[in-house]
Amino acid sequence: MDKDSKQTFTHRKRKWLLLLLLLLVVGGIGFYYWFSHRAIVIEPQDSFPEVTKASKMNDQKLKEYANQRADETAMTVNVYPEVTISSANNQGQMWVQNLPTNVYGQEAELILAETGELLYSSGMLEPGYQNTTVTLEKYLEKGDYPAQIKLAFYNLKTKKLEGKTTVDATIHVD
């Protein structure tokens, strides 16, 4: 073997080794991609577990639990979004009721939408109490005014704020 043929043989050998190495790298990447991106199939079990240690709750217990959970968390808001005020004495009607079925106390504030001014605050309304008459803290001319009734709900035992909501309302001044 002469020197030229030896170099050609070595050169061909390197090409084949590089090609083989390239194929191994591409195959490894493909293998990794195939197994890392396949969907995981969960095989169902042959048998469904038996009920052995459980006992069925009777209907009475289920009803008691359902009522208890509803009573502890339920809050029904009864607000009429139309407030009527007399321009003569700045007094009128605003209907806010805290139903006797509620467990939270509530406070209602009448806010003038344009300025954010507090016009009236009901104080605490315990369950079973309502607010029907108001005297505004600011005089309003005759007309209709956009307003908001902001309600805050309080836990009567801990006296902590539990939640808030806002009802859009209209103030009619006669």
- Spans of all domains in the chain: 7-36, 74-173
Average pLDDT over the chain reads 81
Please count the CA atoms within 13 angstroms of the CA of 170 that sit on its side-chain side. Answer: 6
By CB atoms closer than 10 A (0-12, 13-18, 19+), residue 58 is: exposed
What SS3 state is found at 14? helix
Closest CA to 104 of 84, 145, 79, 76: 76
| The residue to which tokens 């005759």 are assigned | 142
Strands 91-98 vs 82-85: parallel, antiparallel or unpaired: antiparallel
Highest average pLDDT, of 28-42, 61-75, 95-109, comes from 95-109
Q: What is the pLDDT of residues 90-110, one digit of tens each?
A: 999 998 888 877 888 889 999
> Which whole number is the average pLDDT over 17-28?
89
| Backbone phi, psi, residue 72, to 5° | -75, -25
Q: Look at residue 68 and tell me whether its pLDDT is greater than 70.
A: no
Per-residue pLDDT band at 14 (split at 50, 70, 90): confident
Q: What confidence tier does 158 reach under pLDDT thresholds 50, 70, 90?
A: confident
Q: Indicate if the pLDDT at residue 44 is higher than 70.
A: no
- pTM > 0.85: yes or no: no
- Residue 62 is predicted with a pLDDT of 61
Which CATH topology does 74-173 take? Immunoglobulin-like (2.60.40)
Render 80-124 in DSSP notation, one character per residue.
-SEEEE-TTTSEEEEEEEE-TT--EEEEEEEEETTT--EEEEEEE
Comparing 4-13, 65-74, 148-157, the range with the smallest average pLDDT is 65-74
pLDDT for the residue 16: 87
Q: What angle do CA 46, 47, 53 make, to 5 degrees?
A: 160
